[in-house]
Amino acid sequence: MDKLTIWEVFLFSVPEAAVIISIAFGLGGVKFKPKKILYISLLTGIILYFIRPLVSSYIVNVILYIGVLMILFLVFKVMDFFKGMMSVILSVSIYLIIEYLNVTAIQFLFDIDPVILLKDYVLRFECFLPQLLIAILVSFAIRKYKLYLFTE
């Protein structure tokens, strides 16, 4: 896949990782911990900055993303392996659905060529914001309505 610049990591990858982690925390029934989410999302962005250029397949990239999050969840003792695995896989899946629907809607509504979307960073950021906001709302709804995967 394409190599991201370091500023793209902080502009796109870190916020994306933070919201995915927040959704995973919610699904796992883990208390919202901003510092822990920030540390894990920064590490995820930096680790994937180095891994992404080595991987040409999108699906392999997603699997590695899940693997990195799982390892970091274990290192930071967020939740046990099974809960972490289920929460991370579901949160990444939710985010990918939001991303797909967002990109499809933007291309349909505004007739934007995907190639231009990749080259124009201002437009790319403007298109990134709706999916980020929707994912934040999903994370908030999971917490508010206690839509946890596990009960104890």
> Does residue 151 fall inside a structural domain?
no
Q: What is the DSSP letter of 29?
A: T
> Does residue 95 fall inside a structural domain?
yes
b/e sequence 95-133, b meaning 16+ C-beta within 10 Å: beebbeebbeebeeeeebeeeebeeeeeebeebbeebbe
Q: Rounded to an integer, what distance in angstroms lies between the CA atom of residue 10 and that of residue 22?
A: 17
Range of the domain at 116: 6-145
**Under a CB-based contact definition with an 8 Å cutoff, are residues 38 and 18 in contact?**
yes
Give the number of domains in the chain. Answer: 1
Q: Rounded to an integer, what distance in angstroms lies between the CA atom of residue 121 and that of residue 7?
A: 11
Nearest to 37 by CA among 52, 51, 16: 16
Regions in the chain scoring below 70 on pLDDT: 1-3, 152
Q: Rounded to an integer, what distance in angstroms lies between the CA atom of residue 17 and that of residue 65?
A: 9
The predicted structure's pLDDT at residue 50: 92
> Does residue 75 fall inside a structural domain?
yes
Q: Rounded to an integer, what distance in angstroms lies between the CA atom of residue 69 and that of residue 43?
A: 9
7 phi, psi to nearest 5 deg: -75, -30
> Does residue 150 fall inside a structural domain?
no
The residue with tokens 């080259």 is 119
| pTM value surpassing 0.85 | yes
